Amino acid sequence: MGNFSITRQLTLHYVVSTAALLLLAGGFLYWTLRRNLDHTRHALLASKIEVLRVLLREPDKMAALTSEVEHEASESHPLRYYLRILDEQNRVLLETPGMKDLAPVGLFPDPVETSAESINNIQQKSQSGRSLLFLAVQAVAGLAGTEKRTLQIALDTSSGSALLADYRRKLMTVLALGVLFAAVAGVWVARKGMQPLIEITSTAQHITASQLHERIAGTRWPEELGELAAAFDAMLDRLEDSFTRLSQFSGNLAHELRTPINNLRGEAEVALRRCRQPEEYQQILESSLEEYDRLSRMIDGLLFLARADNPKAALERTRFDARKEIETVREFYDAWAGEQDVEVAFEGNASLNGDPMLFRRAVSNLLANALQHTPARGRISISVRANDHQAVEVIVDDTGCGIAPEHLPKIFDRFYRVGRVRAERPGGTGLGLAIVQSIMRLHGGTASIQSRVGQGTTFTLEFPARN
């Protein structure tokens, strides 16, 4: 059933339930009709037996008895019956005209004593194209009640049976028509119900990479599909965002690679223009080394980001002391901080479950940024603590130049650097914060920034509570 179309499934359900309903209702009515018919027949038989018994016992009622027995078994009567009275030697005393051929004496069952028993002793037989009920019961004649008689009654049930047969035929017709109608209605209803889905599908089919801005949501969808359409649109939003970032990224990448390579090329061309002294070559090679350095740092960073982007990237987690790792990073930058005349303070304590090497790399990127943007006599403070929600927070705060609000939303993007800094510090790759963010993502945490121009910047790394 799994890959049956929904239309077919719905139609099938429709047909099955309609058929079941009709069968149940029709069957019940048929059963009631049949029971009523049986009831009427039995009542008639019982009343006839009683009448005959009474008439038999009273000798002066002979005329009434004869007229009762020899009544015309009229064709038009819905319950046609035949009566016969036999004496002890099974000789026919009286019988309804026409009974001899239709219900001969021999066809009747042996007579039973009481009329109550006789109702249970009814036999149904077909005789010359008619269906009949046969019943025989003992009786006595005369006031003394000494003469034994046998009463034979045959009831022609053909018209009732024909009624039932007709009812069955009609029931079948209604059933067939009902099923047919249910099938047609099922297909129609299902198609109508599926229409919005078909529309969503056709819209979705038109969306390509270049048309990611198209959306399917609107007020016209039925409630159940509205959510699907909204979810679909949300997915398109995310895809479009990723696409835009990706295409920006490749544009930026080309741009970022061009600069150092142009520099290197320019230097080589200038150097080759004429013969030079060994010191000049040395100088040129030294300045090339800086470019190579930058290129190789950029490539390292890109490789790191690519690996971290891989959905299968997993952390090698160990529990480590965050304080010790931050201390190591701080020591590494000690000389530089001294040179810059910037104080680096550190406080707090926490233990973390994660990759200590990546943790150092994130803190180191933040501290390097802070050092780069904090002027002499500035202050950088690093703190680590578990917050109210048991999440571990690492905060790197500086008193540097700060970042204008318009740059903040993009500050974690790859290659994004604030304009002025880009010119001042050609050595930076613009990947440092992107790497911080992807390290945080690997840990299931977040990186956030707060900054005010001229006052300083605060970066907060939050590691989730389960760590």
Ligand X SMILES: Nc1ncnc2c1ncn2[C@@H]1O[C@H](COP(=O)(O)OP(=O)(O)OP(=O)(O)O)[C@@H](O)[C@H]1O
Single out the segment in contact with ligand X by CB under 6 A; choices: 30-38, 68-76, 261-269, 431-439.
Answer: 431-439
d(CA 295, CA 303): 12
Sign of CA dihedral 102, 106, 109, 111: positive
- Assess 403 for contact with ligand X (CB under 6 A): yes
Q: What's the angle, vertex CA 243, arms to CA 239 and CA 248, rounded to 5?
A: 150
- Contacts of 415-422 with C-beta under 8 Å, sequence gap 24+, read 415/249, 415/252, 415/253, 415/255, 415/256, 421/373
Q: How far is CA 268 from CA 135, 278, 457, in A?
A: 128, 14, 40
Residue 440 C-beta: closest distance to Mg ion, Å = 15
In whole angstroms, what is the distance from residue 355 CA to residue 361 CA?
Answer: 10
Q: How far is the CB of 417 from Mg ion (least distance, A)?
A: 9
Can residue 160 be called a binding residue for Mg ion (CB under 5 A)? Answer: no
Pair 388, 336: CB distance under 8 Å: no
| Burial grade of 155 (CB within 10 A; 0-12, 13-18, 19 or more) | buried
Nearer to ligand X, 167 or 416 (CB): 416
> Could you tell me which stretch among 218-226, 267-275, 311-319, 428-436 binds Mg ion (CB under 5 A)?
428-436
Residue 337 engages ligand X in binding (rule: CB under 6 A): no
- Cβ-proximal residue to ligand X, closest one: 432
Contact yes or no for 465/391 (Cβ under 8 A) = yes
Contact residues for 172 (Cβ-Cβ < 8 A; gap 6+): none
- State which of residues 369, 374, 437, 451 lies at the interface with Mg ion (CB under 5 A): 369
Binding residue for Mg ion, selected from 26, 354, 432, 456, defined by CB under 5 A: 432
**Interface segment toward Mg ion; rule CB under 5 A; list 139-147, 162-170, 409-417, 427-435:** 427-435
Contact status: 260 vs ligand X (CB under 6 A)? no
Q: Which one among 352, 457, 462, 463 touches ligand X, defined by CB under 6 A?
A: 457
- Kindly state the helix (H) or strand (E) to which residue 407 belongs, with its residue range: none
Q: How many of the chain's residues bind ligand X (CB under 6 A)?
A: 21
**Is there binding between residue 400 and ligand X (CB under 6 A)?**
yes
Based on the shown chain and the rule CB under 5 A, indicate whether residue 437 belongs to the binding site for Mg ion: no
Applying CB under 5 A, the span of 50-58, 122-130, 221-229, 432-440 interacting with Mg ion comes to: 432-440
Q: Is 367 in the site for ligand X (CB under 6 A)?
A: no
**Residue 369 touches ligand X, criterion: CB under 6 A:** yes
Cβ atoms of 58 and 20 closer than 8 Å: no
For the chain, how many residues are written? Answer: 467
Return the one option of Mg ion, ligand X, none that residue 398 interacts with (CB less than 5 to 8 A, by type): ligand X
Stretch that binds ligand X, among 114-122, 349-357, 412-420, 438-446 (CB under 6 A): 412-420
382: which residues sit within 8 A by CB, 6+ positions away?
Answer: 326, 330, 344, 345, 346, 347, 363, 367, 394, 395, 396, 397
Among Mg ion, ligand X, none, the one that 350 touches (CB under a kind-dependent 5 to 8 A) is none
Residue 378 binds ligand X, judged by CB under 6 A: no
The residues that touch Mg ion, with contacts defined as CB under 5 A, are: 369, 432
The residues that touch ligand X, with contacts defined as CB under 6 A, are: 365, 369-370, 373, 398, 400-401, 403, 411, 416-418, 421, 428-434, 457
